[in-house]
A and B are shown apart, each in its own frame.
Chain A
Amino acid sequence: MKTPIVELRDVKKIYQLDSVNVNALDGIFLRINEGDFSAIMGPSGSGKSTLMHIIGLLDKPSSGEVLIEGKNTANLSENELAKLRNQKIGFVFQSYNLLPKTTSIANVELTLIYSGVGKKERSNKAKDMLIKVGLENRLYHYPSQLSGGQQQRVAIARALINNPVLIIADEPTGNLDSKSGEEIINLLKDLNSKGHTIIIVTHDPEIAQKAKKIIRIKDGKIVNN
């Protein structure tokens, strides 16, 4: 059997709120294989965002193991984790999280700066990627000059720029109108058809239908897979 891109083994996340322990994730087992397009669904507070953050190495589980391409991440140093985030994972946030007062192309280049790519190559790659997501006329615009859908495309370009093995999108359409939202989903679908592995978090069943697989989560547990 092929090594999954992501594997979670008995992952738990416990938050302490006023001396009460909240089990945000309560024993998650999950495999994401190459080429998957999975939608994680669940009511708010079900732990789906926490799950995404742990898969994306933005957060650490309280217990259990997270494996990226078969490599256990539990004992990795900060620098090794930074390298994985930079090279292997592209994260798309609901609120875009672009640097303000920074052009589209500079925002996309940021990922490459931390990969140590030279200036010229950086700018060429970023330009290509922005053209790929349909922003050839918005290369030097600031986030404040872009619509929500356009900002999210910049964010997707930034996530894609290092050709990561996994793209994680946390409610990428949450702040968008339905038309822009659909365009973003179609863009992700298109990327998947070109071989990118994608996980998307949503509570919109219509969007989830576009994924190949739906993972439902409730009270920190996967209810069907």
Chain B
Amino acid sequence: MDIIEIIRLALNSLKKNKIRSFLTMLGVIIGVFSVILLVSIGAGLQDLINKQFENLGTNIIIVMPGKILDDSGQYSGGHGPPNFAGSKLTMDHVRGMQRIGNPVKEVAGRNESPITASIGKGKTIFTTLISVTENYSSVRNTKAQKGRFINQSDVNAGKRVTSIGPTLAEKIFKDEDPIGKNIRLGDNQFKVVGIVESKGGGFGVDVDNTAYIPLTTAQRILNLENIQVIDVSVDNKENIPEAIKLVNNYMGKRLKDDEFSVLDQKQLLNTIDTILGAITTALGAIAAISLLVGGIGIMNIMLVSVTERTHEIGLRKAIGARPKDIAIQFLIEAIFLSIIGGLIGILSAVGVAAIISIYFQTVITPWSIILAFVISSFVGIVFGVAPAIRASRLNPIDALRYE
């Protein structure tokens, strides 16, 4: 009996038992579909986080107060968060570092603190006050979408002006144009000179609910002598180690070792890697659960049909089928169902992922397709063929009597 005949037998058998074939395929479809889709959502999330961090600015080194890194250059849990309150960083450091020259490009100081915002007798909004020097705009890639950002003359003169984030603008001014209007931040009136571009995202924190004011103004009216963070942009990624050395040198001459830390993206990326690692682990777990669900579906339908099929195997043996004929027929049936089910699963996952991408960019990863396809097919084939092979070894009469 040749292989073409057996293939024909297998396809006939699938055609005759449409519901059984469909249910078996459904297990594969669900397994493949859910793995690919869930992983694509997870990978999309991973991408989103990566991009968000990139948006924060590349080629930047950051000077923070206190000792944040341990001696091996890693974030150290023991030293706690940066010591903002006792910061020894000053405006002089910002101006001084600006004079280091290449590869240091621009230096910007900033303070961040919570504050209330309101106009007239209007509602009070909680927002984040970010006091900056003029270079913040280029170093941190923050531009005005309307009006202008804080500029050098604002900083030099310590003017009471503010550029506000789009969320704050919408909450305070509703439909009105805020430019040129006054806003109360804490106890002081500021004139709105611009609305900054949306930064989006922000992991649960609305990074657009902000008010930027000149750092000098903040120091004057809020009595803040010191600076929490100094951002330093570097002309080129390759020059970051040199820039760190120069900044360390500069700061080391002015402050004690434990009064400042110089961080770069690499260290920031270490933290990101930790987050992404957790996401990847979660993805793996999701994939495993989906495959388990799909696999159980496949197993169930295979086991349910085994009685019926054992009887059929008994009959085929009684009229002269060899064990090999039976095994090959069932193998072909299982492979066929796995491939068709796998393809349907892949196509529907890709389709649904495309629809979800309208709202949230998903990323289809090849490994998830391969993993889902291989494991679902494997489960389908093992549970489809193993009982058949077992039944094909029985005496025909025992298979015929099987219940």
Contacts and interface: CB of A to CB of B under 8 A. Distances in A.
Interface in B381-403: 393, 395-398, 400
B184 interface: no
Interface of A: 53, 56-60, 78-79, 82-83, 85-87, 91, 93, 97, 99-102, 106, 110-111, 113-116, 158, 162
A82 B1 contact: no
A131 B393 CA distance: 35
B2, B12, B317, B324 pick with most chain A CB within 10 angstroms: B317
Given A58-B396, A78-B323, A79-B324, A114 B318 contact: no
Contacts of B321: 82, 86, 114
B316 A97 contact: no
Contact of A111 (B311, B319, B393, B395): B319
Nearest to B1: A116
A58 B5 contact: no
Nearest to A116: B1
B315, B320, B323, B393 pick with most chain A CB within 10 angstroms: B320
B395 A86 contact: no
A149 to B, nearest CB: 20
Interface of B: 1-2, 5, 9, 12, 16-17, 311-312, 315-325, 393, 395-398, 400
A99 B316 CA distance: 9
A85 B1 contact: no
A86 B9 CA distance: 17
Nearest to A159: B319
Closest 6 pairs (CB-CB, A-B): A86-B320, A58-B397, A114-B320, A101-B16, A58-B396, A82-B322
Contacts of B319: 85-86, 91, 110-111, 114, 158
Contacts of B316: 110, 114
B320 A115 contact: yes
Contacts of B318: 56, 58, 85, 91, 97
Given A58-B318, A85-B319, 18 more contacts: A59-B396, A59-B398, A78-B393, A82-B317, A82-B322, A85-B317, A85-B320, A93-B400, A97-B311, A97-B315, A97-B318, A101-B16, A101-B17, A102-B16, A111-B320, A114-B316, A115-B1, A115-B320
Contacts of A53: 397
